[in-house]
Amino acid sequence: MKSNFITKLFGLAVIFLATLMFSCSDDNHGKTVVMDVSPNLVWVGVRPPGRANDSAQVMKCLVEGTNQDLYIGRSKIEGFEYAEGFTYKLLVRIMPIENPPADGYTDRYELLKIISKQNN
């Protein structure tokens, strides 16, 4: 009787740990970063299949703790409404898009929190 109980408990523990391990994977839930968003939109060239002289206005975002600049369309951070003239510090979840379009974003951005918004 005691051996059967221990075997069942061990089996439940293994299932729980496996579920926890897979549900917390960075691939499934992305990563959370703090971004500094510049007060002005910047012009960048459009990737193919656009024409060589095509360009678009985007937000310039610096991922804190890195030297990585991201250029993100002004409506591409879900839950965030950009207003020009303000410097923002945002907490954002970046999640990879499964099967992204060849000419589009490869990541999805979701606003978790506006840490600060300062008028420039």
CA 7 – CA 34 distance, rounded (Å):
45
For residue 9, pLDDT over 60 is answered with: no
- Its pTM stands at 0.70
Q: Is the pLDDT of residue 18 over 60?
A: no
Q: How does the average pLDDT of the chain come out, rounded?
A: 80
Q: Is residue 18 part of a domain?
A: no
Note whether residue 11 is domain-resident: no
Give the contacts of 23 (CB within 8 A, at least 6 positions apart). none
Residue 88 lies in a domain: yes
Range of the domain at 108: 29-119
Is there a domain that residue 66 lies in?
yes
Is 102 within a domain? yes
How far is residue 26 CA from its own chain's centroid? 11
Whether residue 109 lies inside any domain: the answer is: yes
Q: Is residue 113 part of a domain?
A: yes
CA distance linking residue 92 with residue 33, whole number of Å = 5
Q: Look at the chain and report how many structural domains it folds into.
A: 1
Q: Express each pLDDT in 20-72 by its tens digit.
A: 333 344 445 799 999 999 999 999 987 656 676 788 899 999 999 998 999 99
